[in-house]
Amino acid sequence: MKRRREDHREGATVCRATVTDTVSHHQVGRFTFSADRIEDARERAWGIAGRRYGDDIDVRIERISR
């Protein structure tokens, strides 16, 4: 059986987050994850982005499937 990644736990909606550096305004990363509600998506996106990319970032979230 395949192991599910931490970012893709059981959730109703698959989202994509784009991470931008607030100083240089360049995109520093992008990742997908799943969440049940938009509030959950915001919390998860900022948590994942903070762990991966550190401070001075901006996160934009978009729904890619339901």
The number of distinct structural domains making up the chain is: 1
Q: Is residue 33 part of a domain?
A: yes
Note down the domain range covering 23. Answer: 6-65
Reported as a single tens digit per residue, the pLDDT across 12-57 is 899 999 999 999 999 999 999 999 999 999 999 999 999 999 999 9
Claim: this prediction has a pTM higher than 0.85 = no
- Beta-carbon contacts of 33 under 8 Å, excluding residues fewer than 6 positions away, are 7, 8, 11, 14, 15, 17, 41, 44, 45, 48
